[in-house]
Amino acid sequence: MRNPKLAGIFYRLDYIEAFGTGIRKIKKEYESYEVRPDIKILDAAFILNLPNVKNKISDVPSVGDRSCPDQKEHIAGLLARYGSRSRKEIQDELHVSKSRVTQILRDMLDAGLIERIGSGPASRYRGVKSDIKD
């Protein structure tokens, strides 16, 4: 252990369970997956790359093909509950990026599921149909 004082602080803050068990636990967690963590050891540091096994690119819904019904339903629920919402309010509620929420809203606008009120940063969105399922 390079820095026992720092390790002791992390242990007391519950950032670690026990000394020296992390890498073994990480490797064990990846045993059932095709991808593996990549560990690079440098002189004064290490780099640990952990592949995301929960969301494979093929599993992520594509906005263009209208296959993200959960997010659309969430937006429809927000609009039904509040009447109208700004892009930023919807983005914050969904915990997605600005570009992602903009794509979803554009998709819903094109499908006639919602309408935009106003323009620019003051734009708000409201629902026009109650059923948004594809």
Closest CA relative to residue 78, chosen from 118, 105, 112: 105
Mind listing the pLDDT tens digit for each residue in 9-47? 877 877 777 766 777 888 888 888 888 888 888 887 778
Whole-number pLDDT of residue 123: 93
pTM: 0.47
Q: Which two tokens stand for residue 7?
A: 């390790």
Mind listing the pLDDT tens digit for each residue in 112-129? 999 999 988 889 999 885
Gap between the Cα atoms of 114 and 17, Å rounded:
49
**Domains parsed from the chain with CATH numbers:** 4-49 (no CATH), 61-127 (1.10.10.10)
Non-local CB neighbours of 47 within 8 Å, separated by 6+ positions: 38, 39, 40
Cβ atoms of residues 71 and 62 within 8 Å: no
28, burial (CB in 10 Å: exposed 0-12, middle 13-18, buried 19+): exposed
Q: Counting every residue, how long is the chain?
A: 134
